[in-house]
Amino acid sequence: MTRVLMVSTDVVGPSMAGPGIRALELARVLARTHEVTLAIPAGSSPASLPYAVVHYQPGRIGDLAAAVAAAEVIVGQGFVFTSHPELLAASQPIAIDLYDPQILESLHLVRQVDPVTAAIEAQGFVVRTRAQLERGDFFFCATSVQRDYWLGALSVLGRMTPTLVAEADDDLRSLIDLVPSGLDPQPPRRDEPVLRGVHPAIPEDAFLLIWAGGLWDWFDPQLVVRAVAQLRETCPQLRLCFFAGARPNPDGPPIVTPEGVAVRELAAHLGVLNETVIMLDTWVPYAERGRYLSEADVGVSAHMPGIETHFAFRTRLLDYLWARLPILCSLGDSLGEQIAQAGGAICVAPYDLDGWCAALHQLYHNRVQCSTMAASSDGVARTFTWDAVAQPLVAFCDAPRRTAPDHVATERPAPVGLDPQVLAAKQAQLAALDHYARQLDTALNQKNQHIVHLERHIERIEMGRVMRLLKLFTRQR
């Protein structure tokens, strides 16, 4: 039994997003065979868990030092390695979660800011990622495409040494393997209704589409809204419900995305907001999401083409799989296409409004097809249970080892303290960068909000011009 420290970079509690859910569930699997401690940001409020929990203050360097010293293996993801350099400075084996290629996401997040700020912000992601790739002993990600991407990065950084290749398995699974997000083996069951006949815009006999998850820049929810608006007459019972509440945030107030604001404004402009398009204003609690999903007829997700999509793993599709929902999504997502090959999803080309309208019309009027698709997804769902997907991480914790350079690997290192010189160097390199990165993140969010306000103003001006032209045309007639 190994003492494992799992560090969540995100809030863990009743309301949480993907990173927190992932840390919670992977820790749950590891705790069956190991002694697990889950470190969570201050402000988290999890229910009773089958393992130890410690709280830390995000960004307060050294806050995790005691938990690190007591551990034999450290597992973490993302920004937490930058804001807490005591993690990368530890001498114990470290497993690093790379399921979210943040470098690629940053390209979307900074594209509307000035070039200098964008370049600095993007470089910050590169520095943070490089520090993790240079120090980690085992890495895990979500898809084979992601794994190829990270193998290239590790190769360039000199991590594939002749010694490692000679001692490891031929395909280097001992260095980096697949641990996608997972799902509960038992599908959710319908309980007391939470949407049908409860929300004033959702009748009990509605054909209900669910968009579960955040509305980020790389998604295209406006396309789905336009399709639903066009089908009002031919599909009168069609309803689209977004999980649109503000995302929990360990570093400050909940996050409202510009895309979420834009979707709401588009639905209002098309006259379908709170009629055929419903946006839930609060974040759906993790334990309650099954009740919402079980009432849906179809799970939907639309995204734009691009590098983020190519390497993405859409965890919201797992929720649809869990609920055995037929899925309608954009082409280009590896999980969506896997489900489509099994017969459980229909994939439509990005930006194809006619394609979305046709697919929705087809499903609306062919409930037998919906049932067939739902049944087809069952086999895929069974391969994505948390117990199944977590096995490579479990295996690493069973036999932890050092593979990072300038350290001697041992079969089972004894817990040791932090090297003060290494810690000081990491603090100097990473603490200032993290502080500056947080300032840039705040500025970026403010600029995005400003852009949204400008777009609203421009839309009102354009609408005023159209109305004046219509009045002029009417008078001339």
pLDDT confidence tier of residue 408, bands split at 50, 70 and 90: very low
Same domain? 94 vs 169: yes
Q: pLDDT, tens digit, for every residue of 346-360? A: 999 999 999 999 999
Tokens 């604001």 sit on residue: 261
Same domain for 236 and 347? yes
| Pairing label, strands 3-7, 52-56 | unpaired
Asked whether residue 467 is domain-assigned, the answer is no
If asked whether residues 165 and 310 sit together in one domain, one would say no
* pLDDT tens column, 23-82: 999 999 999 999 999 999 998 888 889 899 999 999 899 999 999 999 999 999 988 998
What's this model's pTM, rounded to 2 decimal places? 0.80
Q: Is residue 234 assigned to a domain?
A: yes
The residues, ordered by sequence, that sit 6+ positions from 70 with a Cβ below 8 Å of its Cβ are 3, 5, 37, 415
Judgement on whether residues 355 and 404 belong to the same structural domain of the protein? no
Is 465 part of any domain?
no
Tokens linked to 211? 């968009």
Residue 342 CB contacts under 8 Å (≥ 6 apart), including other chains: 376, 377, 379, 380
Mark whether 343 and 435 lie in a shared domain: no
Give the residue from 321, 355, 382 where a domain finishes.
Answer: 382
Q: What's the pLDDT at 412? A: 35
Same domain, 167 and 233: no
Answer whether residue 471 is part of any domain. Answer: no
Structure confidence at residue 441 (pLDDT):
58
- One domain for residues 348 and 439: no
For the domain that residue 125 is a member of, what is the CATH number?
3.40.50.2000
- 266 and 402 together in one domain: no
Asked if 333 contacts 340 with a C-beta cutoff of 8 angstroms, the reply is no
Domain total of the chain: 2
In a domain, 47, yes or no: yes
Whether residue 429 has pLDDT greater than 70: no
Q: What's the pLDDT score for residue 415?
A: 38
Instruction: Decide if pLDDT at 475 tops 60.
Output: yes
Range of the domain at 168: 3-182+385-453
Map residue 328 onto helix, strand or coil.
strand
282-320 pLDDT, tens digit per residue, is: 888 888 999 999 999 999 999 998 888 888 888 889 999
Determine the Cα–Cα distance for residues 174 and 400; give it in Å rounded to an integer. Answer: 10
Q: In the listed set 382, 404, 433, which residue is the last one of a domain according to the structure?
A: 382
Q: What is the pLDDT of residues 117-163, one digit of tens each?
A: 888 888 888 898 999 999 999 999 999 999 999 999 999 999 988 88
Q: Domain ends where: 363, 382, 401?
A: 382
**Cβ within 8 Å of residue 380, ≥6 positions away:** 321, 338, 339, 342, 344
> Does the residue 189 lie in any domain?
no
Q: Are residues 284 and 391 in the same domain?
A: no
Assigned domain for 9 exists: yes
Statement to judge: residues 132 and 44 lie in one domain = yes
Same domain, 38 and 129: yes
User: For residue 194, is it within any domain?
Assistant: no
User: Does 231 lie in the same domain as 174?
Assistant: no
217-231, 241-255, 267-281: least confidently modelled range: 241-255
Q: What's the Rg (C-alpha) of the chain?
A: 24
Does residue 101 surpass a pLDDT of 70? yes
Half-sphere exposure of 198 (CA within 13 A, CB side): 10
Whether pLDDT at 416 is above 80: no
**228-269 per-position pLDDT tens digit:** 999 999 999 999 999 877 777 776 777 778 888 999 999 999
Alpha-carbon torsion angle 9, 11, 13, 19, nearest 10 = -50
